[in-house]
Amino acid sequence: MTTRAAGKTPPNLLVEIGTEELPPKALSQLGRTFADGCRQGLMEANLLDDTDAPHRWFASPRRLAVWIPAVRSKQRDQRIERRGPSISAAFDDDGQPTKAAMGFARSCGVGIEQLHRAQDAKGEWLVHRSVQRGDNASKLIPQCVEQAIKQLPIPKRMRWGDGTAEFVRPVHWLVIMHGRSVIKVNLLSVDSGAYTRGHRFHCQHRLRLTSADHYEKVLADSGFVIPDFDNRRRIIQQKVQTLAKRVDGTPLIDDALLDEVTGLVEWPIPILGEFDKIFLKVPQEVLVSSMRDHQKYFPIKSNRGRLLPNFITVSNIKSRTPKRVREGNERVLRARLADARFFWETDRNTPLESRVDALKEVLFHNKLGSLFDKTSRVRMLSASIAELLGVNVDQCERAALLAKADLVTDMVGEFPELQGTMGKYYASHDGEHKSVAAAIEEHYRPRFAGDLLPSGGVGQVVATADKLDSLMGIFAAGEEPSGDKDPFGLRRAALGILRILIEKKLDLDLLRLLEESAQIFRSQPQSITVSDKVVTRVFGFVLERTRALYNAAGFAVDELNAVISTRPVSPLDFDRRLRAVAKFRKLPQAENLAAANKRIRNILRKSSEPIPGQVDQTALTETAEQQLFRALERLTKEVSGYFRDGEYDQGLKKLVSLKDPVDYFFDEVLVMTDDASLRQNRLALLRQIQELFLQTADISKLQVDAG
């Protein structure tokens, strides 16, 4: 933070909320949101001189803070002009004020003589001009801070003591400094002051701030706190990387772990530890999960990609005896790894297949039965999908049978995040086919946005079947997602199905698969009834997730609407259509053809009479309609193969040649003529044009700009 010269710019503002330890995973978001909210409030209050000047946000386990430059001490006065009645309505023929003028003056709190006249292109008006004096910043800043606090993304707020204040954690101190002045206010049941606090253990006394610009320096020099989240994060990353080089390794640093560790410490001290090499016989995923997910340690890999018997922990204390800190962490990790090794050795004594019956005791859903019931359904659906794709049916059924068996192992009971992964290892140990073992792990993919997809055909089949079963079952149970609530992750499941079918180019009829899943539910006596309406709802739900998927990919809303209106049953087919429409709209003829399709749609929609299924060529009397019919007949033959093979871009490219005959038709031919036979024949011609385009999309929904 830089100090600005006195008298040249308004003073800078510092706001700090001191708390009990904040949730580390949410700390970064809380810090940014609080800072942005304070700045936005100051902008709306017209207290910022330079709205482009960057602000700084701070977040550590015990504080959220923001520093905002050049905050005015007072709002600027505002000149207000209020317009009243026109002069002709304000005064009568004798020049005397009318009731309208006198009423306007009273509403402004002035006499008629204090009003002014203003003229514009529309006439002359009475106006009242006044100056609204700006409020002091000392009054407005607390309001901005309070509003920013209310807008924080806190799912569940806490209360503490006897007060009524609510926040993510109990609040112990509050600083609001404008330059060198403290703005006195009571927020969150705490009075603001000039004192902050440092590290919980290294700094037992309060730290006085003499200026908003000294905050970071005071905490770093005297408080053993690095308040800047991003700076603290960089320090941790650099020190961890440097420390790993001591053992010729590279630390496994992912953003989520780095953010969480940054949210746990205020004065980071990385420490290198080690564990017994005997534990390296346990699968690496187990070791990594023990260190990363459970202990918040950074594992270390060798140059060859193998785990080293080392780890790095980040302490929040600068200890006089770092060896004891290291030994304490090593002792905790040793106990966890010993448990993992025991589970690894004992679990393998029981084959996965022998564990399947135990799934009968694990409830999947109170209306949908046990995990054993789900396994049976997924197995049947996997066989159907495998036949459609030409994938080995026996392997798919076997993988589906064993897919959930590792959930009843001791290892997954202790490390639930390793479900599927341990199943792969145990299946390999049991001598299962490598495709089956891989599918057990891969059938959970994708677990999150951007995650890897199943790489093998067996994994793709079982993953799709598992997600389809969950969608169909939960919808049938009446617990489909609503609003932000999606406890069963059905939106994620739908997106997973879409990604697998589209990115792996699996041309499957999704509606058929859903109907197959519904039939499997109906075949099991313990299952609830799955109606055709449920199938329709699930299909519509997945179709809407398609919209979300392609919105995120940058496709336009009208492009999506054009394709969705045709309700393609294959996600891969949807993808091909959408990409073809996106290309089509860039062609110079696209605007006219889209407009023509709109016109055709409106004409057909307004017509209530029956339209023949075929065009009677002998009844085409006008040259324009004859030319359009011949062009349509020729193009129908040319594009039918393209549309049949899913080459929609090539088909639409051919259809652009309809522009001129369609334009000529609408210029020369009256469709809604009084002659019923001519009218119906022309409507049939228009419907054939519409149906030809609808083989790809409803391009009448495109909003194509000229040029």
Domain extents in the chain: 13-74+136-222, 78-132, 229-347, 353-554, 588-701
How many angstroms separate the CA atoms of 297 and 549, rounded? 35
Write down the pLDDT at residue 244.
Answer: 97
Write down the pLDDT at residue 151.
Answer: 94
Would you give the DSSP letter of residue 48? B
Write down the pLDDT at residue 68.
Answer: 97
What number is the average pLDDT over the span 621-642? Answer: 91
Fold of the CATH domain 588-701: Isoleucyl-tRNA Synthetase; Domain 1 (1.10.730)
Write down the pLDDT at residue 131.
Answer: 75
Q: Residue 320 phi/psi, 5° resolution?
A: -75, -20
Write down the pLDDT at residue 7.
Answer: 53
Write down the pLDDT at residue 592.
Answer: 87
Enter the pTM of the model: 0.82
Fold of the CATH domain 353-554: Hypothetical protein af1432 (1.10.3210)
Structure-token match 């000392």, residue found = 138
Is 18's pLDDT higher than 70?
yes
Write down the pLDDT at residue 161.
Answer: 87
Q: Is the peptide bond before 155 cis (omega within 30 degrees of 0)?
A: no
Write down the pLDDT at residue 619.
Answer: 87
Write down the pLDDT at residue 282.
Answer: 97
Summarised one tens digit per residue, pLDDT across range 380-438 is 999 999 999 999 999 999 999 999 999 999 999 999 999 999 999 999 999 999 999 99
Summarised one tens digit per residue, pLDDT across range 314-331 is 999 999 999 999 999 999
Please state, in angstroms and as integers, the Cα–Cα distance from residue 203 to each residue in 211, 539, 556, following that order.
Answer: 20, 60, 56
Write down the pLDDT at residue 527.
Answer: 67
> Rounded mean pLDDT of the chain?
93
Chain-centroid distance of CA 4 in Å reads 40
Is 706's pLDDT higher than 60?
no
Is 368's pLDDT higher than 70?
yes
How many angstroms separate the CA atoms of 359 and 423, rounded? 14
- Degrees to nearest 5, angle at CA 271 with 265 and 276: 130
Summarised one tens digit per residue, pLDDT across range 507-540 is 999 999 999 999 999 988 766 888 999 999 999 9
Write down the pLDDT at residue 89.
Answer: 87
- Please compute, for residue 415, the number of CA atoms within 13 A of its CA located in the half-sphere on the CB side: 26
Write down the pLDDT at residue 5.
Answer: 44
CB 140 within 8 A of CB 183: no
Q: How many CB atoms lie within 10 A of CB 107?
A: 11
Write down the pLDDT at residue 2.
Answer: 45
CB 406 within 8 A of CB 432: no
Is 130's pLDDT higher than 90?
no
Is 3's pLDDT higher than 80?
no
* Terminal Cα-to-Cα distance of the chain (whole angstroms): 50
Q: Name the pLDDT band for 674 (thresholds 50, 70, 90).
A: confident
Summarised one tens digit per residue, pLDDT across range 542-590 is 999 999 999 999 999 999 999 999 999 999 999 999 999 999 999 888 8
Is 163's pLDDT higher than 90?
no
What number is the average pLDDT over the span 622-650? Answer: 91
SS (H, E, C) 123-184: EEEEEEEEEECCCEHHHHHHHHHHHHHHCCCCCCCECCCCCCCCECCCEEEEEEEECCEECC
Lowest mean pLDDT, pick from 31-35, 517-521, 613-617: 613-617
Write down the pLDDT at residue 1.
Answer: 52
What number is the average pLDDT over the span 371-377? Answer: 96
Number of helices (H) and strands (E) in the chain: give both, helices first: 26, 18
Q: Of residues 112 and 60, which shows the higher confidence score?
A: 60
Q: Name the pLDDT band for 35 (thresholds 50, 70, 90).
A: very high
CA-based nearest residue to 499, from 538, 458, 542: 542
Summarised one tens digit per residue, pLDDT across range 144-159 is 999 999 999 998 899 9
Is 707's pLDDT higher than 70?
no
Please state, in angstroms and as integers, the Cα–Cα distance from residue 182 to each residue in 174, 175, 176, 378, 568, following that order.
Answer: 10, 8, 6, 65, 64
Write down the pLDDT at residue 4.
Answer: 46
Summarised one tens digit per residue, pLDDT across range 112-122 is 888 888 888 78
Would you call 49 helix, strand, or coil by DSSP?
coil
